[in-house]
């Protein structure tokens, strides 16, 4: 009996549960580059190129390892254009009875597999530390699902940076030491650059010819595209940047796209790196005295804490999560997210970097573009689709809770206890963007006022009923109330005018 084994573009892992459930001698692995997956949002060309190149190389590896692989290229004449279409076609071709799949990371694809007229076994995705049942049990009966408590359980479960049942160094969390303003000089040259080999070059030509109209540049593609290269990037980053990672985790510097960040989310999320192994390597570096505790703990928390927690929330909350909009924000996503000119240097730098690299680090995503979208009242579903499209590490299970939850507060406070909003002050403190800006961050209202300053108070005022009782926001409402009436009215009126000009397509 022949069965099929489905391997999706973000499931490029040796120990994948679908492969473990199959028989190498008799079964056929199905991998397919399909129009549906390439177009459910207008993905950045670098993201598509990365996924297709990594898929092709993973298929080659499986074949070398003795598997039979039925691989569909995007431009194959028989390509049906969808994952289920390809499964049906291959099932008929090989007379296959059933399909082994690993549960996809998106409700849309899970539903498509459930609805297909085939017997498809969706095995749990064991590349994560916490199963759905485990996360549900953790969430059960809690009033608030705070990441910190979940993270501590993950530390205990993995034993990472633990001394018996106590956290190494006596504290669970060293975040306090991870908020330094940007350094004068960044002594890390950034991620490794991998020259495209023949497989990658072929994909680049395909993507250039088919996805030329998508937002994003394909120029200078130098991502790792297989497990060996991804491991090299990890080792390179541990050697050269991990020691500084903690200190400057939240900093932003014009012209420094990467600072001390690891740039491994592309690889972990596609399956080329194993998250636990990554954390063990970082723990070893700390134990060997190569990196300070705040760097190692800060990094490990992102992976076994935030990453796992976000996935838990996505699957706990269900398929309607991306449609949540508790703040009733309805403004259309303005053109400046797609590169239209704006005088806001922080936004323009972040969007342009995104266009060039398909990457921005956490604080750029949260406190520049995300903060702006939230303050401006943009429809969170449109914001979600933008993030899903433009970042090479974006798959819905991780992107949606970060955007709908953490960044846009559209889930009403499941992920965050208060909205991540700030005036221009935060950006001025954590970056040098304001120096090159048309606006003045110190100006709160009137000529040249930083839009983040105007929009911040406008947001606070619009959402007073919801937030004024939030103890973490009460102080800001007191500050607002201390301003005289004229000033408050002027801020509201200028914010409205500024937004109207943006909506009308002016280069604000």
18: Cα separation from own chain's centroid: 25
Using the rule CB under 6 A, give the single segment among 102-110, 139-147, 179-187, 247-255 that binds ligand DLZ.
102-110
Contact 237/243 with Cβ under 8 angstroms? Answer: no
Interface with ligand FAD (CB under 6 A), residue total 28
Using the rule CB under 6 A, give the single segment among 7-15, 404-412, 449-457, 472-480 that binds ligand SF4.
449-457
Alpha-carbon separation of residue 45 from 8, 19, 53, 392 (angstroms)? 18, 29, 12, 9
Contact 318/274 with Cβ under 8 angstroms? Answer: no
Residue 135 engages ligand SF4 in binding (rule: CB under 6 A): no
Closest residue by Cα to residue 6 from 15, 14, 17, 18? 18
Residue 62 engages ligand DLZ in binding (rule: CB under 6 A): no
Taking CB under 6 A as the criterion, the residue among 70, 434, 473, 495 binding ligand SF4 is: 434
206, containing H or E segment: helix 198-210
Distance of closest approach, residue 288 Cβ to ligand FAD, in angstroms: 20
Pairing of strands 162-163, 166-167: antiparallel
Residue 60 engages ligand FAD in binding (rule: CB under 6 A): no
Closest residue by Cα to residue 349 from 504, 173, 182, 493? 182
Residue 424 engages ligand SF4 in binding (rule: CB under 6 A): yes
Taking CB under 6 A as the criterion, the residue among 13, 227, 345, 432 binding ligand SF4 is: 345
Q: Which residues contact 323 (CB under 8 A, 6 or more apart)?
A: 381
Q: CA-CA distance, 50 to 44, in Å (whole number)?
A: 10
Considering beta carbons, is residue 186 or 303 the nearer one to ligand FAD? 303
Distance of closest approach, residue 406 Cβ to ligand DLZ, in angstroms: 19
Q: CA-CA distance, 244 to 260, in Å (whole number)?
A: 6
Distance of closest approach, residue 202 Cβ to ligand SF4, in angstroms: 41
DSSP track, 117-169: SSEEEEE--TTSSS-HHHHHHHHTT-S---HHHHHHHHHHHH-TTEETTEEGG
Considering beta carbons, is residue 337 or 381 the nearer one to ligand SF4? 337
Residue 46 engages ligand FAD in binding (rule: CB under 6 A): no
Considering beta carbons, is residue 291 or 403 the nearer one to ligand FAD? 403
Distance of closest approach, residue 23 Cβ to ligand DLZ, in angstroms: 22
Residue nearest ligand DLZ (C-beta atom)? 9
Interface with ligand DLZ (CB under 6 A), residue total 16
Q: CA-CA distance, 443 to 185, in Å (whole number)?
A: 28
Which residues, numbered 6-35, are part of the site for ligand DLZ (CB under 6 A)? 8-10, 32-34
**Is residue 465 classed exposed, middle or buried when 0-12, 13-18 and 19+ CB atoms within 10 A define those classes?**
exposed
Distance of closest approach, residue 83 Cβ to ligand DLZ, in angstroms: 6
Considering beta carbons, is residue 162 or 333 the nearer one to ligand SF4? 333
Alpha-carbon separation of residue 213 from 61, 74, 219, 304, 386 (angstroms)? 32, 17, 14, 37, 15
Residue nearest ligand FAD (C-beta atom)? 302
Taking CB under 6 A as the criterion, the residue among 398, 455, 495, 508 binding ligand FAD is: 398
Residue 395 engages ligand DLZ in binding (rule: CB under 6 A): yes
Computed on alpha carbons and rounded to an integer, the radius of gyration of the chain in Å comes to 23
376, containing H or E segment: helix 371-376
Distance of closest approach, residue 282 Cβ to ligand FAD, in angstroms: 9
Residue 428 engages ligand SF4 in binding (rule: CB under 6 A): yes
Contact 186/217 with Cβ under 8 angstroms? Answer: no
State the residues that interact with ligand DLZ by CB under 6 A: 8-10, 32-34, 37-38, 43, 48, 51, 104-106, 109, 395
State the residues that interact with ligand FAD by CB under 6 A: 261-265, 268-269, 299, 302-303, 306-307, 310, 361-362, 365-366, 370, 387, 391, 393-394, 398-399, 402-403, 406-407
State the residues that interact with ligand SF4 by CB under 6 A: 344-346, 424, 427-428, 433-434, 437, 439, 441, 450-452
């Amino acid at each position: 009996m022949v069965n099929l084994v489905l391997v999706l573009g973000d499931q490029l892992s040796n120990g994948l549960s679908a492969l473990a459930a199959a028989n190498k001698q008799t079964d056929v692995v199905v991998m397919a580059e399909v129009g549906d997956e390439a177009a459910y949002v207008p993905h950045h060309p670098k993201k598509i190129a990365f996924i297709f190149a990594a898929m092709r190389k993973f298929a080659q590896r499986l074949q070398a390892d003795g598997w039979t692989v039925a691989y569909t290229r995007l431009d194959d004449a028989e390509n049906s254009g969808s994952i289920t279409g390809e499964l049906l076609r291959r099932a008929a071709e090989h007379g296959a009875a059933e399909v082994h799949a690993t549960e996809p990371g998106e409700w849309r694809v899970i539903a498509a597999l459930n609805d297909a007229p085939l017997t498809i076994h969706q095995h749990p995705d064991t590349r994560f530390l916490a199963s759905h049942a485990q996360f549900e049990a953790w969430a059960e009966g809690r009033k608030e699902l705070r990441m910190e408590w979940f993270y501590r359980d993950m530390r205990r479960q993995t034993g990472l940076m633990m001394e018996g049942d106590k956290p190494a160094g006596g504290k669970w969390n060293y975040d306090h030491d991870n908020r330094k303003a940007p350094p004068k000089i960044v002594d890390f040259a950034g991620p490794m650059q991998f020259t495209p080999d023949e497989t990658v070059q072929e994909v680049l030509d395909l993507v250039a010819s088919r996805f030329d109209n998508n937002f994003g540049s394909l120029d200078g593609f130098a991502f790792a595209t297989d497990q060996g290269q991804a491991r090299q990037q990890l080792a390179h980053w541990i050697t050269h940047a991990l020691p500084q990672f903690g200190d400057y985790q939240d900093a932003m510097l014009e012209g420094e796209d990467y600072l001390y960040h690891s740039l491994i989310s592309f690889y972990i999320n596609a399956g080329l790196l194993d998250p636990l192994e990554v954390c063990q390597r970082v723990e070893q570096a700390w134990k060997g005295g190569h990196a300070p505790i705040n760097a190692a703990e800060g990094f490990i928390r992102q992976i076994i804490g935030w990453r796992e927690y976000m996935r838990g929330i996505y699957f706990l909350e269900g398929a309607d999560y991306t449609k949540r909009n508790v703040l009733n924000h309805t403004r259309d996503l303005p053109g400046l997210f797609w590169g239209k000119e704006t005088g806001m240097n922080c936004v323009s730098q972040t969007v342009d970097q995104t266009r060039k690299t398909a990457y921005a680090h956490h604080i750029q995503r949260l406190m520049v573009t995300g903060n702006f979208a939230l303050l401006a009242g943009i429809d969170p579903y449109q914001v979600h689709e933008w993030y899903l499209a433009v970042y090479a590490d974006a798959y819905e299970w991780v992107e949606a809770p970060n955007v709908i939850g953490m960044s846009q507060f559209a889930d009403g406070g499941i992920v965050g206890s208060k909205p991540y909003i700030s005036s221009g002050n935060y950006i001025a403190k954590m970056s040098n963007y304001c120096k090159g800006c048309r606006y003045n961050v110190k100006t709160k209202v009137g000529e040249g006022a930083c839009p983040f300053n105007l929009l911040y108070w406008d947001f606070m005022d619009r959402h007073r009923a919801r937030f004024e009782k939030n103890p973490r926001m009460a102080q800001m409402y007191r500050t607002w109330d201390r301003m005289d009436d004229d000033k408050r009215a002027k801020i509201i009126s200028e914010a409205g005018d500024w937004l109207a000009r943006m909506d009308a397509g002016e280069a604000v």
